[in-house]
Structures are given as structure tokens and as C-alpha cells.
Chain A
Amino acid sequence: MIKLTVNGRPVEVDVEAEMPLLWVLRDVLDVKGPKFGCGIAQCGACTVLVNGEPVRSCSYPVSAAADKRVVTIEGLAQGGKPHPVQQAWIEHQVPQCGYCQGGQMLTAAALLRRKPRPTDADIDEAMTNICRCGTYARIREAIHAAAKKPAKA
């Protein structure tokens, strides 16, 4: 049995140690926020936060998440209030198809915790997730806007 916390909820799963965290979340725990795009950690659609750090869950065995705090896009908002990143994503109308955006927002939230006022170079370095619809310009704008918001998760 592997124990971990998902979006604040303690869970126990009886699966193979090498089952990727992505599939434990999606198929075992019915947490659909993290998406499957490539399976080889190239695209980042599967990004979740593990103890606050962005992780590509398609290539991360669930055993490595034992006793850790996993946060998916569903868990980014706290107390029913959207995270500043989510507020900025809506105000700047960032998503197009939206499939990559859960991963993008979590990566952005983690960046802002590390660097509350990121430069464009910081954003370049942190935001490596693929967006096939090409929303990069708005992702960048929204991160700058979120950085200016008073409240932070």
C-alpha cells in the first residue's frame, strides 16, 4: 500500500510501485486534472506539484510520491477562492483548447512561489510545457499579472 496526500486528502493505493503517478491519479483515484499528452515527460500536460515542486507525473512512479503532498489543478484554489494564477488566466483569457493549461498553471504557481516577481528570462526557463494551440504570449502576460496580485497561495 502506498500512502500519499492528494489535494489535501490522504489516500492509500494498492498498485505496482512503478505505476506512474499520472495513471494512479487519473484511473485509480479519478482525478482528471492532470492530462496525458506524450508519456515521456516531453510535453508537461501531466504536471502536478509534489511537495510544491512541478513534476511530470507520466514519468514519475507513484512509489516516489509516498508520504508526499500531491497537488493537481483541482487543488490549486484554496478555500474556494481561485489562485492568483487562475484569476490571471481568466482575466487574460489564456486558454484555447485548455488541455495543457492545468500543467501550465501549476508550473506558473510554483514559479511564483520561488520568484514572486519573475523576469521574462525566469519565465522562459520555468515554462517549458508545450501548448499546441500556442497561447504562450498570454501565459507570459498572465504570469506577470499574477505576480502583481496581492494574495498568494
Chain B
Amino acid sequence: MTTRRDFLKVSAATSGALVLGFNTEKSLSQGAKPTEINAWVVVEPNDRVIIRYARSEMGQGSMTSAAQLVAEELDCDWAKVRVEYADTNAQVVRKRPWGDMAAVGSRTIRQSQQYLRQAGATARSMLVAAAAKGWGVPADECRAASGVIYAPGGRKATYGKVAAAAAKLEAPKEVKLKDPKEWRIIGKPIARVDIPDTVMGRQRYGIDAQLPGMVYAAIAQCPVFGGKVKSASGAKVAGRRGVIQVIPMGDFVAVIADSWWRAKEALRELPIEWDFGAAAGVSSDSIEKLLRAGLDAQTEVVSAKKQGDAAQAMAGAAKVVEAEYFTPYLAHATLEPQNCTALFKDGRVDVWTSTQNAEATHAVAAAVAGVPLENVYVHRMQLGGGFGRRGAQDYTRQGVSLAKAMPGTPVKLLWSREEDTQHDNYRPVSLVRFKAGLDAAGRPVAWQSRVAAPSIIATLLKLPLKEGIDPQAVASFADQPYEIPNVTIEYAQRNPPVPVGFWRTVGHSQNPYMRECFIDELAHAAGKDPFEYRRSLLPAASKELSIMEATAKAAGWDAPLPAGVFRGIATTEAYGSYTAVVAELAVSPVGVIDIKRLVLGIDCGYAVNPDNIVAQMQGSAVFMLTAMLWGDITIKDGRVEQSNFHDYRMMRLREMPKVEVVLAPTGGFWGGIGEPGQASIAPAVCNAIFAATGKRVRSLPLSKQGFELA
């Protein structure tokens, strides 16, 4: 298949320049007007095409992949494509022509692929129809390719020439989409349109918003969850250079100054009295006790799955295996700390922030400022990391509140790293008890799990739970792929006062680790090879099986390893894609882990941009290894103990092991990419550690279990 470099060379040959993407070039010749064919496609008289992107770009590459979907059906010249954000104010005024704007749940492509392709096809159809009408020929005698429409007799017209006429036509009710075999843009490793700006230092993130007369806000939020400001007297810092004002705001205090550093330095000197509230007594120990009580409780437990009679089958089992698994709170640690710049003036609100959901930012800004939706303008910025942190709008709420307190003045709110680490909505802590019964042949006949964990949906979203089940808390347990006849999954929702939220891969960031390690325990108890054991339990047609086999084959599962090197395997579905990982590592007698390589397999159905998928897999490896090696948010006296990268450790370049990606898209469906790659990594590594040491890792992070990275 075409490599990215080959594709770039081909494009360079046709366009005469390296296809870097034209997002920063001026698009219009003097006086010419661009024509909107539909909400997604704008054509300029000079044949440039603007494709609109509704969601957020945070490095997952969707801005480019989504545009590929439109461009494919549009049959335009990719070299002439420029991608622009859809405007949120227009979204409201035009009654949501762009639909969902959230970049969450690894679903930009799978949720929007149908209507994006339709938009491209519809626009193409109208452009062709306009040309045909102008020539007086039937539209079905014309064809379009690379932005040019051709008709018999040597006639041709470029999209730019017919755009104005096309926009006047009625959009066809139905359009036929291409067969995947015809794809020329989808499936290609196209260079990301936003990378040149990043590389040349032109990219602008929320933190980079700059306006005339702007002031800066540094804030301190109550260190204890749920606490409030009792008093904050600005007198002590009033005379400091650049300090403008001190504003107490309920649960935080802001220092406003003419630069952020001055605001932050003043904040350090500001005496603040807090009313810490009830959570001041909470600790990691008390949280574990709460969860443990949930494991044994008779009340406030719901059934998430009941298949067959697990208790009865367990009683008759030849062998019973039991284990408890634990995963800690984790912080998102986006490299760009949370921030929001806002201007409240004459009943209008302008907001600049890094957000995973511009509509949520829009709605919150309107609500906080008390203005109609039509009066809000959210200016899109690139995100310095999302990972699920930036769906929540706490920083927007704060930023717009401050702007409202200083009408007419733009206010840039920026969190310090300490505030960011200690005021996150964390990946939930989870304690899970497993019990499985094996028959004489070692096959599992009964499986019981009880999960004790907070509910993101109930606490962050404040939505009612259907039958008390939070699907995230039991993800990959209730819907596991193995053929086990009697299964009981229970959920004990226990909510410590630590705020929880959607951390990359959410429930699949921790539950597959537990499940796939426990399956390994069963394999071991049955005396079977972990790969063969899974194979015997997965239905023949299951995609977990096919990706596991492809990954194991690529990793050479049956080939002998050097002395001291051991393997582990895991497989799971997540966000519509099927993943498997083989980990190879050595462990020294004192627990130093040397990961030789990780082989990451993924079947995402259709692969829109293979190079981007590889990048996401590589990045997922670093993100998940970081979490499993060191990730641990601990609570003491109702506060998060960690504060910055010195005590919340991040993997560095020299520590990243060799990562190989097995991209095995089987077509026929659209699976996610941003998150699934993480899901099978932790269990594969822990299973390899067991193979190497005989020690089961039932609790993360590894650093707390006596392991360290070489």
C-alpha cells in the first residue's frame, strides 16, 4: 500500500509543491466570493475548496480524516482543500446544521461518516448538475474528477466556475455513495492539514488567545473537594506591580493582573481562608474501605448482567479461582493546563478556550453570562491535549464568570499545573472481585464479578442511571466476548467526594486490564497457554479472535524468545474497534522491567487514514504505559497529594519501548481510533510479568507493586 511519503511525492508532482496543507494561506483573490454549496462544502472561484470541520482537533487527527470523508465523495482536488472549523454561532442561528460538535468517545468518524460522505456526494452532484445545465446535456453524461467536471465533446469546467450556479440548485434527496473499492482519498495516509502550522510555530491553542486590553487571572481553588472560600483579603497584594483586583468567587479566588506571572506570584502571597467542608476527612484509605464495603454489601448493589445461574454452576465447578483487582484514580495531565479567555460586552460573550465540545462551551457561556445563545461566539482553538478532560466546562464557567465581573475587559484565565493536577475530574478508582468456576477440562462454567466504583454518569453528568447501572463502570465485563454460560455481573455504586470524569478509554482503560489478567489466571489454573485458552473460548466469527490471531502471528507467538524474555497477550473490543496486544519483556530479580517490544493490533473496520492510526497506537502505548507504571492520584485530608510532573510522573523519550503496529482493518464497519489502542496494553504487560516472575499484578500502578522501568 502507499506509504505516506509516496503519497506526498505523488501530490507534489501534480500540484508542483509539497502538499503541506493551506490552512494559513489567503484563500481569496481580489473581490471574489466563496460559495457555500452546503454546510460542509464551500467552493471558491479559484477552485479552492473549504471543507468544514465541526468537532475539535486535539492531536487525534480527525480534522484531516473527517475532511477526507467529504473530499472523497466530493471528488475535489485534495491539494486545493483547506479545512476550517464550523462556527458555533452559526450552528445556533442555523439550527444545528453541523450536528454534534463533541470530540469524545472515539466517535468523530464513526458517528459522522455517513452524513459527511453524503454532504460531499450531494455537493458534487449539484456541481455536476450545474455544469450539465449550463451545457444543456444530461447530468448522467458528465463525470467529475479532482475538481473538474467533464462532458462529452471535450467540455470541461472546474468547480469554481460552476459553484455559484450549483448553490442555486435544489439539493438531491438521495445520493449514491462510492463503494469502498473506489476510494482514492479515504484509506490513504494523507498528511494532516494542521501539522504545518504546528511545526512552523503558528498554531494557536486556547492559552494563546490575545486581545487588546486583556487582563490575566490566576486562581486558587479550594484544595479540599467541595470546599468554599471563607475570606480572601486583597489588601496584602494590592500594591504589587501589575495587580488589578482580587475576586473571590464562591469556590475559588482569582487575582487579576496585567500579566499571568504577576497574578500568580500575587496569589502565592494572598491569604485565603477556606471552609473545607465535609470532604476534609477523606483519604485513599477511607476510599478503599468504602469500596471494599461495597464488595460485601447486601444493599445498594444492582445487577448489570445475569445469564444462567452462576452461583449454582460455581458450586458444581471442579476448580474455583478468586481474585480482587484494583485500579487507582488517574489525572488527565493535558500538557496545556485548563484555561479560558472571555469578553463580556454589551450583552455579547466571546470565548476562546481549548474545548472538546464547542457547543458545550457555547451553552455554558450563555448560561453563565445570562445571554441568549445567539449572542455567544466561541472561537475555535487547537487543544494542547484533550484525553477526555475538556468535555467538562469548569474552566469556561470560571472564565465567563470573571469576564462578567469585569464587563468590557477581556479576561484570560489560566490554571497552574498544580491547580490542573488537583482539580481534575479523575479516571475513577475501581475495586473488583472476581470468582470463576472451571470444569474438569479447565473451561470456565461460571463467572461472577462485582464492581465497586464511582459513577461518572451519576456524579459528573448528574443523569439518572438506567436500573442503577453505569455502563462505563462495568464496560467489558457485562459485554465480554468469551463463551461462558453462567455470568453474574454486579455493580455497587460508591461515590467518594473525589470528582470523576472521562479519562481516555474510560471504563475500557481499566476493566479489560482486570478481565484479561483474570482470564490469564484461569488459563494458568487450567494449565493452558493463554493464547490457546482464549482461542478456545472465543466464538469462531468473533473479531476479537481474528485480531488476536493476526497480532499473535505478527508477534511470532510460537517462536522461541531469548532467554529471560517472556510474553503476555490480551484482547478486547473498545469503541467499536477490536484490539489485541502482545507484550515481550524481561524482569530482573529486583523487579526492573525491560519491555523489549509491544505489538499492538487493531481492527477498526475501515481505516480512513492508516498513518494517523499508527500514530494513535504509538501514542496510546506511551499514555497507557505511563499510567500503569506510575499513575496514581492519592487523597489525603480530602486533597490530592500530587501536584506537578515531579510527583505525577510522565514517560520520557528514552523510556519508550519499541512499538509495532498491526493494522488489520477488515472493512465493513467504522471503529474508533483515539482510545481503543490503549485497552489491551496493561493486561498484556501484566500477563507477561506473570510469565516472567510468577507474580500476578492485581493492583496498579506497577511502581507500588515493587516494579520499576529499566
Which residues of A come within 8 Å of B, CB atoms?
16, 19-20, 23, 27-28, 30, 32-33, 35-40, 42-43, 45, 72-74, 76-77, 82, 86, 89-91, 93-102, 105, 123-125, 127-140
Most buried by A among B383, B612, B654: B654
Cα separation A94 to B194 with both chains bound (whole Å)? 12
Please state if A132 and B335 are interface contacts (CB–CB under 8 Å): yes
Given A89-B195, A90-B20, A96-B61; 9 other pairs, CB 8 A cutoff: A37-B417, A42-B645, A73-B201, A98-B59, A98-B198, A130-B645, A132-B385, A133-B622, A138-B618
SS class, residues of chain A in contact with chain B: loop
Contact stretch, chosen from B134-142, B203-211, B288-296: B203-211
With A38-B645, A93-B4 given, is the CB distance from A45 to B191 under 8 Å?
no
- The residues of A that contact B623 with a CB separation of less than 8 Å are 132-134
Q: Could you jot down 6 A-B contacts, CB within 8 Å?
A: A72-B201, A90-B20, A91-B8, A94-B199, A97-B58, A133-B619
Give me the 3 closest cross-chain CB pairs, A-B, nearest first: A134-B622, A96-B59, A97-B59
B343 to chain A, nearest CB (A): 17
B617 to chain A, nearest CB (A): 10
- The residues of A that contact B203 with a CB separation of less than 8 Å are 98
Q: Is B620 an interface residue when CB atoms closer than 8 A count as contact?
A: yes
A88 (CB) vs chain B CBs: closest residue:
B199
Please state if A30 and B210 are interface contacts (CB–CB under 8 Å): yes
Q: Is B621 an interface residue when CB atoms closer than 8 A count as contact?
A: yes
Cα separation A37 to B417 with both chains bound (whole Å)? 7
Please state if A95 and B199 are interface contacts (CB–CB under 8 Å): yes
Q: Is B384 an interface residue when CB atoms closer than 8 A count as contact?
A: yes
Q: Is B644 an interface residue when CB atoms closer than 8 A count as contact?
A: yes
| Of the residues B261, B646, B650, contact of A132 by C-beta under 8 Å | B650
Cα separation A110 to B518 with both chains bound (whole Å)? 48
Please state if A40 and B260 are interface contacts (CB–CB under 8 Å): no
With A28-B259, A93-B611, A99-B205 given, is the CB distance from A132 to B382 under 8 Å?
no
B559 to chain A, nearest CB (A): 23
Which B residues between 435 and 490 are near A, CB-CB below 8 angstroms?
none
A140 (CB) vs chain B CBs: closest residue:
B653
Please state if B195 and A27 are interface contacts (CB–CB under 8 Å): no
- The residues of B that contact A98 with a CB separation of less than 8 Å are 59, 194-195, 198-199, 203, 382, 384
With A32-B210, A82-B200, A98-B382 given, is the CB distance from A128 to B261 under 8 Å?
no
| Of the residues B58, B386, B653, contact of A123 by C-beta under 8 Å | B653
Please state if B195 and A42 are interface contacts (CB–CB under 8 Å): no
- The residues of A that contact B619 with a CB separation of less than 8 Å are 96, 133-135
Cα separation A137 to B201 with both chains bound (whole Å)? 21
With A90-B20, A134-B618 given, is the CB distance from A99 to B195 under 8 Å?
no
B191 to chain A, nearest CB (A): 6
A125 to chain B, nearest CB (A): 7
- The residues of B that contact A123 with a CB separation of less than 8 Å are 653
Cα separation A32 to B211 with both chains bound (whole Å)? 13
Please state if A37 and B8 are interface contacts (CB–CB under 8 Å): no
A90 (CB) vs chain B CBs: closest residue:
B199
A38 to chain B, nearest CB (A): 4
- The residues of A that contact B386 with a CB separation of less than 8 Å are 97
- The residues of A that contact B642 with a CB separation of less than 8 Å are none
Q: Is B582 an interface residue when CB atoms closer than 8 A count as contact?
A: no
Please state if A97 and B615 are interface contacts (CB–CB under 8 Å): no
A46 to chain B, nearest CB (A): 11
Q: What 1/0 mask marks residues of chain B from 650 to 663 whose CB sits below 8 Å from any chain A CB? A: 11111010010000
Q: What 1/0 mask marks residues of chain B from 308 to 324 whose CB sits below 8 Å from any chain A CB? A: 00000000000000000
- The residues of A that contact B61 with a CB separation of less than 8 Å are 96
Q: What 1/0 mask marks residues of chain B from 353 to 391 whose CB sits below 8 Å from any chain A CB? A: 000000000000000000000000000001111110000
With A32-B204, A123-B653, A130-B652 given, is the CB distance from A99 to B644 under 8 Å?
no
With A45-B335, A100-B335, A102-B201 given, is the CB distance from A133 to B385 under 8 Å?
yes
Please state if A136 and B622 are interface contacts (CB–CB under 8 Å): yes
A100 (CB) vs chain B CBs: closest residue:
B335
- The residues of A that contact B60 with a CB separation of less than 8 Å are 96
| Of the residues B5, B261, B622, contact of A27 by C-beta under 8 Å | B261
| Of the residues B194, B199, B612, B653, contact of A86 by C-beta under 8 Å | B199
- The residues of A that contact B491 with a CB separation of less than 8 Å are none
- The residues of A that contact B251 with a CB separation of less than 8 Å are none
Cα separation A97 to B4 with both chains bound (whole Å)? 19
A128 (CB) vs chain B CBs: closest residue:
B652
Cα separation A88 to B257 with both chains bound (whole Å)? 40
Please state if B622 and A101 are interface contacts (CB–CB under 8 Å): no
With A128-B652, A136-B656 given, is the CB distance from A33 to B611 under 8 Å?
no
Please state if B615 and A93 are interface contacts (CB–CB under 8 Å): yes
Cα separation A29 to B446 with both chains bound (whole Å)? 67
- The residues of B that contact A124 with a CB separation of less than 8 Å are 653-654
A148 to chain B, nearest CB (A): 14
B651 (CB) vs chain A CBs: closest residue:
A134
Q: Is B216 an interface residue when CB atoms closer than 8 A count as contact?
A: yes
With A132-B623, A138-B618 given, is the CB distance from A101 to B198 under 8 Å?
yes
| Of the residues B20, B207, B653, contact of A136 by C-beta under 8 Å | B653
Q: Is B49 an interface residue when CB atoms closer than 8 A count as contact?
A: no
Q: What 1/0 mask marks residues of chain B from 177 to 209 whose CB sits below 8 Å from any chain A CB? A: 000000000000001101110111111110110
Please state if A35 and B618 are interface contacts (CB–CB under 8 Å): no
Cα separation A106 to B560 with both chains bound (whole Å)? 43
With A30-B210, A130-B335, A130-B645 given, is the CB distance from A95 to B651 under 8 Å?
no
Most buried by B among A73, A93, A127: A93
Cα separation A101 to B192 with both chains bound (whole Å)? 15
A149 to chain B, nearest CB (A): 14
Please state if B200 and A39 are interface contacts (CB–CB under 8 Å): no
Cα separation A125 to B653 with both chains bound (whole Å)? 9
- The residues of A that contact B654 with a CB separation of less than 8 Å are 124-125, 127-128
Please state if A32 and B208 are interface contacts (CB–CB under 8 Å): yes
A143 to chain B, nearest CB (A): 10
A95 to chain B, nearest CB (A): 5
Please state if B615 and A135 are interface contacts (CB–CB under 8 Å): yes
